[in-house]
Structure 1
Amino acid sequence: MFLRTPPLTAALLSLALLYSASAATHAKENAIASAKESIASSEKDSTASSAKKSIASDSYTYANLHDVRVSHVYLDLTVDFANNALTGFADLTLDWQQQDADTILLDTRDLTIKQVYARRVDGQWRKVSFELAERHAVLGSKLTIKPGFQTQTLRIHYQSQPQASGLQWLTKEQTASKNQPFMFSQNQAIHARSWIPIQDSPAVRLTYSARIQTDKDVLAVMSAPTEPGTARTGDYRFTMPHAIPPYLLAIAVGDLEFKAMSAQTGVYAEPYILEAAAKEFASTQQMIDVTEPLYGDYRWGRYDLLILPPSFPFGGMENPVLSFITPTVIAGDGSLVNLIAHELAHSWSGNLVTNATWQDLWLNEGFTSYVENRIMEQVFGVDRAIMEQALSVQDLKQELQSIDADDSRLFLDLKGRDPDDAFSGVPYTKGQLFLMFLEKRFGREVFDPFVKKYFDDHSFKSITTAEFERYLAANLLDQHPGKVSSEEVNEWIHGRGLPASSPNPQSDAFLRVQQHSNAWLSGLSTLSELPTTAWTVHEWLFFLNNLPLNITPTQLQQLDQAFNLTHSSNSEIAHAWYLLALKTGYRQVLPALEQYLISIGRRKLILPLYRQLASTPEGLAFARKVYQQARPGYHPLAQGSVDEMLKAD
């Protein structure tokens, strides 16, 4: 599949060539700035900042978006592993929205701002004053710049700090290969501001280019096209020609090698896991191929995967053209590749069409979970897709029992909390169920074209829930009256919990697992009679998640001896077993659990275990002891969560 190139691409590619020249003189910097300004002024229509229209109100940015918007960022950064810092400058191309505006407000968090320059119409740089406000616990520090004129380009010299919430720095000893240090970013939700002075809102869409300088022993990659087989030179250039929100601007540097999976897809990873990852995710190209007929062309060119160190706090992150992936899904049997389907699905829902604020997160994750499941159905069959639906719904129903009722709404009022709090099963699974509800009412023959048109009509745009509701009414509800009422839509989006009309997927395979489980628990059959050799990971998870908490210690010991669950190589099965063991007092898992918590940092897997441990004094003491060893290897986002969970009385 060839990249569908917007009008801006040719100019940006020319600009990339300009960057790649070896001379780094002041005159050349002026020429580069002039070229960027020429692109911005002559081809604005191809970027998100082109139309001077209203923009969503985002309470999580200091940026004065109604006055000025950043349309392009050029980063010139040096990766300093000795000091755990990125040092250099950022050029921000500005699109002024008001004729009388001359102030730029930017988001930062723990950045050292050294100098700020504004480029004059004659091409010369003028040093301008700036003010960095006190740090807000959630928003960081507002950066106020008043050039005194409507400059088209700002140059900000700065340095990130070791505690940057959007970066993790690992020594070579903390990596699995133990050959080279590793650094990677995680911007979502508002962590881009911790390593770039930026308008850090998903309502903003911008293109970017970068020059990243490193030691010659490591490879740098970004969420921008990279030529497979790029040599380690210590000097790397990137250009992202499509307008993306700032949280999708990503970087990683480490002992990375590349292996192709197809002409369009490949894997970057440390050498120890490269072959296993490429084998595990070999179905990626097939996933792209089955998605395009449903939802339109894949518009990003390549689709590669970056396997991060085990400390990565999430399953995956949908950074365009290069999804960041946890190694915990490399199970050896392809059983957890629905995560790849999820990150790929973001290429349509989330990256192509983006939530305008974090209150609208469900527009990203609900659509993506729905598309993910359709991909899994196409590639692996209906039975597997239904099993994954059923497991997700079971998890959601359990979660709904423990969260505030207001947090069960799709359109979420965060009430000033950290936008990271928006991430729960609600935007993912309740959002997916809403779309499944619509699919059932209208039929796929109607609903599939609607979703494809929705992606096409909003491509490379950020939208709000209110805008989606108007679009849904005009393009689906009004076109097919009597199928779904506006009241039903309102209940799904703004109501608490799950509506009575919510789909309730049931798997025949799970019904059989439950029957076998009941027979064993009641003494009517033995463990040897359980047909586990044919079970998928989904059936194992259902079996473990639904064992009663009054299961006897003897039965737990029998299970462990029969299936070696305490030492399972599948991270999801091990997690389910450890959680059951903690709830039922099966202490034999503690040595293995300790190593599990130290070796991985994925929040989905470790946080429920720490939470369960913290529910008893004895467990809390054990958790604190383990965490003392594990914490240095955890990402800042995981550290913050566990710190709060295990804090002293």
Structure 2
Amino acid sequence: MAPPKDYTTQSNYAEVKEVARHYELDVDFGRNVIEGYAKVTAEALAPGGRLVLDTRGLSVSRVELLPGRQPLDFNLGQPHKASARLVALALGTALEIHLPSQLAAGEQVVVGVRYATSPDSSALQFLAPSMTAGGAHPYLFSQCQAIHARSMVPCQDTPAVKAPYTAAVRVPAALTALMSAVPQDAGAGAGEGLPGVDEGAAATEGERRTFYFTQKVPIPSYLIALAAGQLESREISPRTRVWSEPSVVDSAAYEFAETARFLDAGESIAGPYVWGRYDLLLLPPSFPYGGMENPCLTFVTPTLLAGDRRRGRGRGKGDCAALTNVVAHEIAHSWTGNLVTNASWADFWLNEGWTVFLERKILGRLQGEKALQFNASRGAMSLQEEVARIGPDHNFTRLVPDLSAGEDPDDAFSRVPYEKGFYFLYYLQGLVGGPSQFEPFVKDYLQHFAFKTLTSDDFKAFFTSYYADKAPDAVSKIDWDAWLYSPGMPPEKNEYDDSLAAAAKDLAVRWHTADVLGVGAEAPAGVGAGDIQGWGSDQALAT
């Protein structure tokens, strides 16, 4: 069966598909570029004589058939027709590689591509020393979601294609390189040196050094991640260390010291953690997100360093609202998104909706059911506000938006796939009998689709088959078209326990009514610090 159509890639992944990747990356901070070599192993799904990869802003100097290094003809096409409309967020240009002979279905081919990135690569953020905490060395980090990997490496830049990768990264000797993979010694599966970049000549390291990485679990291209800077690490558990610049690494280790508890809670709900290590990298302030779920190396914002990890421990250890939710969310991605992946960006709710659901399950395990309900209630409010902002009839408020016109998925991203996706899953849980009936399905779903991609139709088919005998009446009540394809708010209404939110609102009203004019009146009678004793900081922030 042909894979589903992803309109955000120009690659021919339905004909010839990447099955393994190796990258040589030579980071040039003087020019803000990467000199690269990509070794791509591809397998024919149907007879064909070409391999098409996505690129954006890459200059390609040679393409060769490996292992013999036979030169191959290639075309680096014109920018996609959507480029003028999408400007810097365009779909880019297709790299069409002409193979020396037709491939039979099931046959594999290995090609090498020598290339360089552009200084304005949308995936790469080069920072001058003045923009770092230490102020002495430059810094680099990548952000490939959703379709920015093509501006760092030539690849089939679609979540429909998952492949393992290895890499060798060369940086100035004072810096450390990290990737969304497990570090390796030279020659231990990731090769030795950068022969493709150096064109076979033995390069002298001099003031530079090379780091090696292996990611054995198949991942989509948007999860390829790279960082380089003056970095140190601290071990916080047998499988987790925190990385950051030296001046903040101890603060980061303190804040994230209880990460292992989140991992353990995630495994109790979703099954074994398959990635080996779970490390965190605290990035400079210019990192534009709260976190990014790169496998083996979650990127997190330094704004989480609040210094109040013990604030509000009445509902659970480490209960800083931003920290707790971000860590729970990014850990949840280890199963939902990274292990089980949406086949196209139109099905993004299968990534983020599921991740919010698992995130809140983890919070419920650690802080109690009321914490889950509190966050669900706030999420429903956020969804309502987001739908109103975008417009209740807008395509982007559908759980599965139509991206067939070539829209950049970044334009469609909002809270909708997160919160409407969670809302749908919570509805399904209630429909089939509650957590005791739904949580076994969660594990079976994740096991069934592990290492694979799926569409919303695949999810629907699995769910209906799973509950056909267990809850046939429930299955018959689901209006799948309304949930998946209708814009606006969900077609059914969930009910949540909002007692924690109500307590916060009641306290806020007491303070507000004591000083309606805002002139600095005295505090209302009977209030004090004890009013928020045992509250989590998320509840305190809701007042």
TM-score (norm 1): 0.72
**2:359 — aligned with what?**
372
**1:440 — aligned with what?**
430
Match of 1:302, as an amino acid?
Answer: R
Match of 1:132, as an amino acid?
Answer: L
Does 1:338 pair with 2:325? yes
Does 1:124 pair with 2:68? yes
**1:423 — aligned with what?**
413
Q: Which moved more, 1:149-158 or 1:240-249?
A: 149-158
Report which of the two has the higher share of helix: 1
**2:49 — aligned with what?**
102
Q: How does 1:364-513 map onto structure 2 within 5 Å?
A: 364-404=351-391, 405=393, 406-414=395-403, 415-442=405-432, 443-485=434-476, 487-499=478-490, 501-513=492-504
In 1, distance between residues paired with 2:480 and 2:126?
Answer: 45
Does 1:321 pair with 2:296? yes
**1:142 — aligned with what?**
94
Pick from 238, 245, 248 the counterpart of residue 263 of structure 1: 238
Match of 2:237, as an amino acid?
Answer: S
SS of alignment partner, residue 248 of structure 2:
helix
Match of 2:417, as an amino acid?
Answer: P
**1:618 — aligned with what?**
none
Q: Deviations over 1:496-529 (max 9, x none)?
A: 2233533243432321222222233223784473
SS of alignment partner, residue 401 of structure 1:
helix
Match of 2:430, as an amino acid?
Answer: K
Q: Which moved more, 1:342-351 or 1:292-301?
A: 292-301
Shift, 1:65, TM fit = 1.6
In 2, distance between residues paired with 1:428 and 1:490?
Answer: 18
In 1, distance between residues paired with 2:438 and 2:372?
Answer: 18
Partners of 1:317 and 1:325 within 8 A in 2? yes
In 2, distance between residues paired with 1:352 and 1:486?
Answer: 30
**2:250 — aligned with what?**
275
In 2, distance between residues paired with 1:237 and 1:301?
Answer: 16
In 1, distance between residues paired with 2:370 and 2:461?
Answer: 35
Q: 1:143 to 1:343 in 2, by over 3 A?
A: same
Aligned sequence identity (%): 37
Partners of 2:482 and 2:491 within 8 A in 1? no
SS of alignment partner, residue 393 of structure 1:
helix
In 2, distance between residues paired with 1:486 and 1:312?
Answer: 44
Pick from 122, 130, 133 the counterpart of residue 173 of structure 1: 130
In 2, distance between residues paired with 1:436 and 1:452?
Answer: 15
Does 1:113 pair with 2:88? no
Does 1:206 pair with 2:185? no
Shift, 1:533, TM fit = 5.6
SS of alignment partner, residue 147 of structure 1:
strand
Partners of 2:8 and 2:407 within 8 A in 1? no
CA RMSD of aligned residues (A): 2.0
Does 1:239 pair with 2:191? no
**2:316 — aligned with what?**
none
In 2, distance between residues paired with 1:173 and 1:464?
Answer: 45
Match of 1:194, as an amino acid?
Answer: S
Shift, 1:530, TM fit = 5.9
SS of alignment partner, residue 416 of structure 1:
coil
Does 1:68 pair with 2:16? yes
Partners of 2:483 and 2:491 within 8 A in 1? no
SS of alignment partner, residue 181 of structure 2:
coil
**2:190 — aligned with what?**
none
Runs of at least 5 residues in structure 2 that lack an aligned partner in the other structure: 84-89, 186-206, 310-319, 516-520
In 2, distance between residues paired with 1:425 and 1:526?
Answer: 39
Does 1:54 pair with 2:41? no
In 2, distance between residues paired with 1:74 and 1:416?
Answer: 29
Match of 2:96, as an amino acid?
Answer: T
In 2, distance between residues paired with 1:56 and 1:377?
Answer: 35
Q: Deviations over 1:428-457 (max 9, x none)?
A: 011111111112222212111111000000
SS of alignment partner, residue 234 of structure 1:
strand
Partners of 2:14 and 2:45 within 8 A in 1? yes
In 2, distance between residues paired with 1:375 and 1:487?
Answer: 26
Pick from 185, 193, 197 the counterpart of residue 150 of structure 2: 193
Report which of the two has the higher share of strand: 2
Partners of 1:361 and 1:422 within 8 A in 2? no
**2:119 — aligned with what?**
162
Partners of 1:411 and 1:493 within 8 A in 2? yes
Q: 1:285 to 1:476 in 2, by over 3 A?
A: same
Partners of 2:37 and 2:112 within 8 A in 1? yes
Partners of 1:477 and 1:485 within 8 A in 2? no
Q: Deviations over 1:58-98 (max 9, x none)?
A: 11111112221111111111110000011021110111122
Q: Which moved more, 1:320-329 or 1:525-534?
A: 525-534
Shift, 1:486, TM fit = 5.2
Match of 1:79, as an amino acid?
Answer: V
SS of alignment partner, residue 485 of structure 1:
helix
Runs of at least 5 residues in structure 1 that lack an aligned partner in the other structure: 1-52, 544-649
In 2, distance between residues paired with 1:277 and 1:354?
Answer: 30
